[in-house]
Amino acid sequence: MSYFDYTVTAKDGSEVSLSQYAGKVLLIVNTATGCGFTPQYDDLERIYAAYREQGFEVLDFPCNQFANQAPESDEEITQFCTLKFGTEFPQFKKIDVNGETADPLFAALATEKPFVGFGKGIKNKALETFSKANNKKYGDKAYIRWNFTKFLVNREGKLVARFEPTASMDEVEAAIKELL
């Protein structure tokens, strides 16, 4: 199955088929406005602007399941991202990425490429401890460990990489360039 076969929900509640992105490289990311990783919006927009004309898209899915870091409405989130970070990439309706109400797209992505760790270092170990406590309530449906987890899908609709929020954005960009 191709990830272009999935349907997601736009901010206005309408259904959006990912088939409209067929043939493009996608970076699918769950985001939040009040997270320590929120400045990654700058990098996401920079990368989007640099490679959009080559067939690259960032698909942004706000999520409030991590320490209540995206409590705003969809419209408020869009205004925040547009005004503070100048984002122009597609942003969809706020979703759940964990638990019984997890969006099927994210459940599938995370099942195919499960969490393997945040990396080394004191900050990463602290995040791992904090995320375990936060996600304990989702049990075996804790698919995503934190905000700004990124999934890279190639032009054929196949998942090629998962990047935790602690991954270097240079590493993410290099992987995108390789697929373009």
- CA atoms of 48 and 131, how far apart (whole Å): 28
Catalytic residue among 25, 28, 35, 110: 35
Determine the 3-state secondary structure of 88 from DSSP: coil
- CA atoms of 31 and 148, how far apart (whole Å): 5
Residue 35 annotated as catalytic: yes
Strands 56-62 and 25-31 come out as parallel
17 within 8 A of 143, measured Cβ to Cβ: no
- Candidates 78, 83, 82; CA nearest to 93 is 78
Active site residues: 35
